[in-house]
Structure 1
Amino acid sequence: MRTKIKFHVTLSLVVLLFVGCKVQQKVTSVTITLANDSDIELSEKAVAVNRNLIDRNAMTKGFPLLIFKSDTIPSQVNDLDGDGKWDELFLVTHFSPKEQKTIQLKWVKEMPKFPIRTSVRFGKREAKNIPVQPATEEVLMADQVHAKLGFQKYQTDGPTWENDKVGFRHYLDGRNAKDVFGKRIPAITPENVGINSAGAVEDNYHQMYDWGRDIFPVGNSAGLGGYALSVNNEITRLGIITTDKLNNIEKTTFKIVSEGPENSILNYKYYNWKVSGNQYQVNETTSIWPGMYGYKNTVSINGITGNETFLIALSNINNQKGLKVIEVGDWVCLIQHDNLTYNREWILGTAIIVPKKDYLGYIEAPKTGQLTDSYLAKFKIENNKPISYYAIAGWELSADKNFKDANYFTEYVTNLAKQLAVEITVAIKK
C-alpha cells in the first residue's frame, strides 16, 4: 500500500519517483558549508536548510543535488506548509569534532533513488465490511471514536512511523497514546502490518516476525511521548480511553506532511480540546530521521491563560526499577530501563529528552482515572509557544544488542542529548 500513498504525499516523495541513472546538471550551482563547531562527534546529524538561503525567490526548477568529495549525499525536499512548493532541504550526515563540510549543490532534473530509511504507514476504512485503504489524511469528530463506531477504523489503530532503527504508532482512534514497534532489522516494515489478507483490521503485530513486533504495553497511559494538561491540579489527557464513546476533542485532523528517504513528518491538529471548563487548540508535529532510536515531537497550544501545566508522558508499566533524571546541558533526560515489554519478556529502555528551560520536575500519574501508569514531566507553557522534545526506545533485540545493559542505554540517551544540542552552522556561497 505504500506505493499508493506515495503518489499523494508532498514533494519529498516526488523526489523518490525520479529514478533515472544519469543526473542532468544545470549551470547554476551553490556551495554550502556545514560546520560542527562543537568538540563532539555527531553521528547521523539532521540538518535542514531553508529554501530561502539557496533559492530566495523559489524560482529554480528541478531538485537540489548535494555532492561532497565526489559522493552524493542523500537528501530530500519538504513542503511544510502544503502550498505545493518545497520549503526546506533536509539531509542527515556525520560530523567529526570541529569538522566543516563544503558541499556542492547542483540543480538537476532527475534525482537518484536514495535508500528508504524512513516511512509512514496509514490506512483506514469507513465501515467494518470495507477493506482498509491507504490514506494520507483524516478528520475525526468527537463521536467517531472506536467504542462509538463499534469497529476499529484504522490500521494499527492509527498512523505508524519509523526509521532504520525503531518504529512508533499513534492511537488516532481517540486515545492519542504513542506506542513502540521494536525492529530487529533496518528494512522498512511490511505494508500489511495491522491488516489481514482480506484487508480487514487485525491485531497481527503482537507476535514476533523477522522485522520485529509491537513490544510496549500502553494501557491507560499516554504511552511514550503522549501528553496532557494540568489545570488547578486536575490532569486531563489529550483524548479518551478505549471504553469512552465521546472524545474530549471536538475535531481531530491528521496529515502526512512528508514521507521521504531521510525524513518523515506527521501533523495533528486538535480543535476545542475540553480541559477543566476551558477549550484549547493544539498543533502537534512529529518528525523522524535515520540513525536515532527515537522521534522528535513539537507541540503548541492556543488558549493558554497561565494556569496550565503541560505534562509529557513516559509510560511506566512493568517498571520495577524507578526513574533516572539526568541534566545534560540544555536538556533533561528522564530514563527508565527494565523488562518494560509485554509480560516483562524483554528488556527495553525508554526515555524522554525534554528542554531544561521551563522544566518543573515530574510527578507520577494517578493510580486510577483517565491517565494512569506514567511518569509525567511538568512544564510551564506559554500561549502558542512550541515545546519540542524527543522520545527514545532501545530494545535488547534491536540492531544494538547493548541496550540490554542499563548503563549503556543511559549513556546512549545522554550522549544523544549532547548531540541534539549542537546546532550546525550553515553558510551559503553562490
Structure 2
Amino acid sequence: MTAKIFSSTRVQACKLGGLCALMMGHLCCSPNDPLKPAYPETITLTVKNPAAFARKDAGIVLEIAKLKAQAPSFNDKAFVVLHGAQELASQANDLNGEGSAEQIVCVADFAANESKTLSVRYAQSGERMRKYPKRTQAELSHKIGGRFVNRKYEGGTFQNVRSLRVPSEHTDHSFYIRYEGPGWESDKVGYRFYLDWRNAIDIFGKKTPSMVLQNVGLDGFDSYHEMSDWGMDILKVGDALGLGTLALWYECNAHRIAQPDSVTCAILSNGPVQSQIQTHYFGWKVGTGAYNVVSNLSITAGSRLTKHAVAIDGDPQNLCTGIVKLDSTVMLKSPQANTDWAYLATYGKQSLANDKLGMAVLYRKSDLIEVSEDEHSHVLVLKPEHGQLTYYFLAAWEKEPGGVQTVEEFETYLNQTVAELHAPLVME
C-alpha cells in the first residue's frame, strides 16, 4: 500500500509496505460509542513525526485504491478518521470528477517524535459523510447570461463552476471572471492567479480565519484593492512574477505563460482541509519551443503554503519562478544547512497597504540551476526532472491573525518550514 503523507508544509509520498501496521478488524469501542453502528469496519495505521519539534495541522493523504487493496469493501462515501476517541477532520477527493474519490485527506497535530495510531472506520454501503468546519477553499466564478462585446463581457451574473475552457475573447479586465481568475485560500491567507495572458499569482491578505473568497469581487475589480473587514489584495504584480508564478528563463528574462493556444482550468477539490486547482496550458510558446503544461496548485488547512506541482512536455531546458522586486525590502536566502530544501524570500513594507509582508519560494536544492534576476523579479531558475517540478510558495502578512511582525520572526518561520520539508511524516 502507498499513502501520501504531508505536514502543513508539503505532501510527501511514503511507501507503507512493512513500515505500516495496516490491519482489518473492528475497533474496540464502548457500547455507548455513537459512531460504531454507522461505521463498523476499521483499517488502522500508525504515523510518526520523526522530528524533534511539534507539528500543527499535519495531514495524511491516503490513496483509496490502496485502501481497497487491503479492504475491498471500503466505501469512500461513508467513513470517518479517528485518533483514539478524537475525530479528525477529513475529506474525500474526487480528482477526475467521475463520481468516485481517489484520496482521503485528514489533518492532525503531532508532538515532537510522536507516533499516532489512526483508525479509518467505514460502512460497507450507503452514504454517511461527516461535515467539518471549512478551513480551505478553491473557487472559479464567471458570468453567465451576457455576451462579449469587443472583448468585454456585458451583462450576466457570476456563477461558480467546477471547470472552464477560457474563451478566446477573454483578456485582462474583460469583466468575465470574478477577480480575474481562480482563487484558493486557507485559514491563513488567500491567493489568486490571472486566468489570461498575464498568468501571474497574486495575494489576498486576510484579517480573519474564515473563508472569504466567495464574497470577493462581486461588486467590481477595484473593491478588493481597498481594505475591508476581511482584508484586501496586498500585492502589486505588474509585469513581474508576483509570488511563485511559473515561467521559463529565456534570453535573461522570465517569460510567463502569455501565449498558449488554449487554457482549461478546473477545481479539483474544495474541501474543509484541502483545496486544489488544476490548469492545462496547451501550446505555450517561448522562443522556438512550444510546450503543454499541467499546473496543480493546492493548499492545506492551517498552512500559508501553496504547493505547485508542474508537469510539462517538450523537454524545456529549465522552468523558473520567483518574487516581484519591490522597494523597501530585504532579500533573504536560506542559511547553509544540511537540508534538501532552501528558500528565496523578501520581507519589508511591500504590500499595497504599505505594511509588512514576507514572501518566499521554497525549492529542492537539487533542482536549482541558478538564482538570477531580471528587470521585474528575483528569479529561481530550476531544472524539471523527466518533465516534473514541484516547489512551494507562501505569503505572511503582518495583519493576519497572529501575523509575523519582524524580519527575524519571518526568518525563524522560514527555517522551521524548511526543517519540516526535510523531515516529513513517516509510517511505522
Q: Matches of 1:219 and 1:355 in 2, distance apart?
A: 27
Within-5 A mapping of 1:21-32: 23=35, 24-32=37-45
Contact 1:218 1:317 in 2 (8 A): no
Q: Which secondary structure does the structure 1 equivalent of 2:66 belong to? A: helix
Kindly provide the amino acid, as one letter, of the partner of residue 324 in structure 1.
K
Superposed CA deviations along residues 346-380 of structure 1, whole A, max 9, x for unmatched, are: 01011111111121231112x2xxxxx21110112
Superposed CA deviations along residues 257-315 of structure 1, whole A, max 9, x for unmatched, are: 0110000010001000011111101011000011112211111210015xx22111211
Kindly provide the amino acid, as one letter, of the partner of residue 187 in structure 1.
S
Q: Matches of 2:170 and 2:104 in 1, distance apart?
A: 37
Within-5 A mapping of 1:258-297: 258-297=269-308
Work out the percentage of aligned pairs sharing the same amino acid.
27
TM superposition shift of 1:136: 1.6
Superposed CA deviations along residues 74-116 of structure 1, whole A, max 9, x for unmatched, are: 1111122333221111111111122111122210442331010
Within-5 A mapping of 1:71-90: 71-90=86-105
Partner in structure 1 of residue 408 of structure 2: 407
TM superposition outliers: structure 1 runs of 4+ over 6 Å: none
CA gap of 1:316–1:232, structure 2 versus 1, over 3 A, is: closer
Q: Matches of 2:332 and 2:113 in 1, distance apart?
A: 34
Contact 1:337 1:349 in 2 (8 A): yes
Q: Matches of 2:359 and 2:382 in 1, distance apart?
A: 20
Contact 1:340 1:347 in 2 (8 A): yes
Contact 1:34 1:100 in 2 (8 A): yes
Q: Which secondary structure does the structure 2 equivalent of 1:39 belong to? A: coil
Partner in structure 1 of residue 344 of structure 2: 334
2:136 equivalent to 1:111: no
Kindly provide the amino acid, as one letter, of the partner of residue 135 in structure 2.
R
Q: Matches of 2:141 and 2:390 in 1, distance apart?
A: 27
Moved more, 209-218 or 119-128: 119-128
2:132 equivalent to 1:132: no
Superposed CA deviations along residues 317-365 of structure 1, whole A, max 9, x for unmatched, are: 234433434455111111111111126x101011111111121231112
Partner in structure 2 of residue 9 of structure 1: none
Q: Which secondary structure does the structure 1 equivalent of 2:81 belong to? A: strand
Within-5 A mapping of 1:8-27: 23=35, 24-27=37-40
Contact 1:314 1:351 in 2 (8 A): yes
Within-5 A mapping of 1:16-415: 23=35, 24-56=37-69, 59-61=73-75, 62-108=77-123, 109-125=127-143, 126=147, 127-140=153-166, 143-146=168-171, 151-189=174-212, 191-196=214-219, 201-231=220-250, 233=252, 235-239=254-258, 248-304=259-315, 308-327=317-336, 329-342=339-352, 345-365=354-374, 367=375, 373-384=376-387, 386-401=388-403, 403-415=404-416
Q: Which secondary structure does the structure 1 equivalent of 2:166 belong to? A: strand
Contact 2:341 2:421 in 1 (8 A): no
Q: Matches of 2:222 and 2:197 in 1, distance apart?
A: 18
Contact 1:318 1:341 in 2 (8 A): no
Superposed CA deviations along residues 129-159 of structure 1, whole A, max 9, x for unmatched, are: 1122221211125x43325xx7232101111
Kindly provide the amino acid, as one letter, of the partner of residue 379 in structure 2.
L
Q: Matches of 2:67 and 2:336 in 1, distance apart?
A: 37
Kindly provide the amino acid, as one letter, of the partner of residue 34 in structure 1.
V
Contact 1:361 1:377 in 2 (8 A): yes
Partner in structure 1 of residue 3 of structure 2: none
Q: Which secondary structure does the structure 2 equivalent of 1:321 belong to? A: strand
Contact 1:145 1:174 in 2 (8 A): no
Q: Matches of 1:139 and 1:326 in 2, distance apart?
A: 43
CA gap of 1:184–1:55, structure 2 versus 1, over 3 A, is: same
Contact 2:95 2:268 in 1 (8 A): yes
Kindly provide the amino acid, as one letter, of the partner of residue 341 in structure 1.
S
TM superposition shift of 1:234: 5.7
Q: Which runs of 5+ in 2 are unaligned?
A: 1-33, 148-152
Q: Which secondary structure does the structure 2 equivalent of 1:25 belong to? A: coil
CA gap of 1:103–1:363, structure 2 versus 1, over 3 A, is: same
Contact 1:184 1:398 in 2 (8 A): yes
Kindly provide the amino acid, as one letter, of the partner of residue 297 in structure 2.
T
Q: Matches of 2:276 and 2:299 in 1, distance apart?
A: 7
TM superposition shift of 1:382: 3.5
Q: Matches of 1:98 and 1:86 in 2, distance apart?
A: 32
Q: Which runs of 5+ in 1 are unaligned?
A: 1-21, 240-247, 368-372
Contact 2:383 2:389 in 1 (8 A): no
Q: Matches of 2:166 and 2:361 in 1, distance apart?
A: 28
Kindly provide the amino acid, as one letter, of the partner of residue 216 in structure 1.
L
Q: Matches of 1:80 and 1:124 in 2, distance apart?
A: 21
Q: Which secondary structure does the structure 2 equivalent of 1:416 belong to? A: helix
Contact 1:154 1:173 in 2 (8 A): no
Kindly provide the amino acid, as one letter, of the partner of residue 292 in structure 2.
Q
Superposed CA deviations along residues 15-68 of structure 1, whole A, max 9, x for unmatched, are: xxxxxxx65524321112111223232221122112133222765333221111
CA gap of 1:36–1:321, structure 2 versus 1, over 3 A, is: closer
Kindly provide the amino acid, as one letter, of the partner of residue 171 in structure 2.
H
CA gap of 1:411–1:31, structure 2 versus 1, over 3 A, is: same
Count of residue correspondences: 381
